[in-house]
Amino acid sequence: ATPTALMVGTGRGAQLGILIKGPEVLEQTRRVDTIVLDKTGTVTTGEMTVHEVVAAEGESAADVRRLAAALEAASEHPIGRAVAASVADLPAVELPHVEHFANVEGLGVQGVVEGHAVVVGRPRLLADWSQHLDADLADVVERAQREGRTPVAVGWDGRARGVIVVGDTVKPSSAEAIARLRDLGLTPILLTGDNAAAAQQVADEVGIETVVADVLPADKVAEVQRLQAAGKVVAMVGDGVNDAAALAQADLGLAMGTGTDVAIEASDLTLVRGDLLVAVDAIRLSRRTLATIK
């Protein structure tokens, strides 16, 4: 490929809202046959809302919400933003200060709030630390998953104290974008750290047949490597800190411009508006650019 034609492609990309790291990226794009899509924030809006806060027997839902929100206020995760925002609407609640905040990548967050060691995240994160949900909370988790939502467990001082149910919606353009990616000969795969039921619901809604759910960030990379070892040329689209390693591993990494800086840095292309239809444009553009060069 001549450098000039590739430069033209790069300029055209900018007009379409695609930032391309270097002209050579367009050459990689041409060979892609598999496209791995992160769920939250990529196929869905990533603007989560809190549907329900349920406290364990003897606990108050207000405390569960307040301590979780205090901790999540320090998180960049869509779930963190949703939980923190859900108290911002309540004028009477002032969020306590957090010490020793730590992000447990792809699992949740922990820290000390009002002298309590608080943990918020996947139910299995709490279970790993022997904070088991009582039967009522386990029911809430099960029901939330059946409804395609994400249950977040909240515990402190060694005990599970409640569950917060969050959820978001599929972006309006996702189903059409996935149909067009298929038309271009790409096989879409949904890859997520969220629970299998929520992932399946989204996959059904947008027309994806292959779903890999409940994965940890390290397993996202492993999944991309597994596909590559099977001879696939893999594009990956993602937005989160937890997607960065997989974006870097993919033959072509596409970051949502609405996502985290870490994801953008790890990627070859950035879709400025965070719209999957622009991923279709990116693949078309590279094929056209390369066709004119031949």
Q: Looking at the annotation, which residues are catalytic?
A: 38
Given 13, 23, 111, 121, the residue binding ligand ADP (CB under 6 A): 121
As measured in angstroms, the least distance from the Cβ of 13 to ligand ADP is: 26
Site for ligand ADP in 136-155 (CB under 6 A): 150, 152
> Least distance (Å) from ligand ADP to the CB of residue 27?
29
Told to check if 120 binds ligand ADP by CB under 6 A, we report yes
Number of residues that bind ligand ADP (CB under 6 A): 23
x/- letters, 182..221, toward ligand ADP (CB under 6 A): ----------xxx----------------------x----
CB under 5 to 8 A by kind: which of Mg ion, ligand ADP, none does 155 bind? none
User: Which residues ranging from 208 to 247 are in contact with Mg ion (CB under 5 A)?
Assistant: 239-240
Stretch that binds Mg ion, among 13-21, 38-46, 93-101, 193-201 (CB under 5 A): 38-46
**Which residue, 20 or 35, has its beta carbon nearer to ligand ADP?**
35
Task: Answer yes or no whether residue 253 interacts with Mg ion by CB under 5 A.
Answer: no
- Residue span binding ligand ADP (CB under 6 A) among the ranges 15-23, 91-99, 119-127, 128-136: 119-127
What residue 107 binds from Mg ion, ligand ADP, none (CB within 5 to 8 A, per partner kind)?
ligand ADP
- How far apart are the C-alpha atoms of 163 and 64, rounded to whole Å? 8
- Hey, which residues does 191 pair with through a beta bridge? 38, 212
User: Where do contacts with ligand ADP occur on this chain (CB under 6 A)?
Assistant: 38-40, 72, 75, 77, 79-80, 106-109, 120-122, 150, 152, 192-194, 217, 240, 242
